[in-house]
Amino acid sequence: MAAMSTSFHRAESAAAPARIPPGRDPFALRPLPGEDLYMYTKTIDNSRIVPEPDPQARRNCWSAIGVAAVVLTLLTGVLAPSVANTLAGYKLEALRAENRRLLDERRELELQEAQLTAPERLQQLAVHRHMVAPQNGQVVNLNKPDGATVAMVH
């Protein structure tokens, strides 16, 4: 390492100091590349230019539309059964829920009917409305045992 540092110092001492030309500012920077160029920009208005139609553009557009329609048709065909199964499942579950609701309603109605037709309740209603059991001889059979019938009024 000592040898390198000594050689570095020798090279530095051997170099002559840079001379500045007379008449030049010693602190001025050298010019930048392209500093002396002046660029003039002109605005160009292309709004009136109509582009020439591409003869392949129409065909490409219709081809893309056709491919999209075919892909859409295939996807619809593939997804339709699963969507139908899902909708059928929803409908089936709705029908099961309605069946449960109707069974509950039927049980409630049967309970109400049993309460309304209970013999104790019917007996209370009969007493309240002054209904009594018929006496002997008060009942008239329409079909007599000897085959004679009573005339019917229409």
Q: Tens of pLDDT along 22-47? A: 888 888 888 888 888 888 889 999 88
Contact partners, residue 115, CB within 8 Å, separation at least 6: 121
CB 117 within 8 A of CB 111: no
Residue 121 has pLDDT above 80, yes or no: yes
Closest by CA to 142, choosing from 129, 130, 131, 153, is: 153
pLDDT tens figures, 53-97: 898 999 999 999 999 999 999 999 999 999 999 999 999 999 999
pTM of this prediction? 0.41
